[in-house]
Amino acid sequence: MADEIKKEVAENSKSNPKAEKAAKKSASSKDAKDKKANIFVRMGKAIAKFFKDEKGECKKIVWPDRKTVLKSTAVVLVIVTILAAILWLVDTGLSESIQALVNLAKKVGEDETVAAEAGKMISGLFGM
């Protein structure tokens, strides 16, 4: 199709320069339409290239052997267990401290010595 237009341009250029310009414009607009029409072809090629590149990248992956995986898993499990124990101890300690303060607060009105002990306990907690 573009070849036919080029032939027409060549024939018309000999006889009429204005016709030559018009023919060139129509040829360029048809080429632009052809490029726009091929968007699905280009998209398909781009998708195919993506998956081809992805396959090549997957071949570059170096997987660890079984022994390394087992060692890493064991290290993770040990660290998680230790951190869980530490968090449990901190949580239990804070819960017991708050419960002791609540119990002392209930007894404050009953005995003045208990109020003094509560003050000492609070100052001890906050490092005063």
pLDDT band at 121; cut points 50, 70, 90: confident
> Which of the two residues, 49 and 100, has the higher pLDDT score?
49
Closest by alpha carbon to 87, among 75, 95, 98? 95
Q: What is the pTM of this model?
A: 0.43
Tell me: pLDDT of 11 over 70.
Answer: no
The structure tokens 């109020």 sit at 115
pLDDT tens-digit profile of 45-76? 899 999 999 999 999 999 999 999 999 999 99
Instruction: Say what angle helices 17-37 and 2-15 make with each other, to 10 degrees.
Output: 170
* pLDDT score for 9: 56
Secondary structure of 28-54 in HEC code, one letter for each residue: HHHHHHHHHHCHHHHHHHHHHHHHHHH
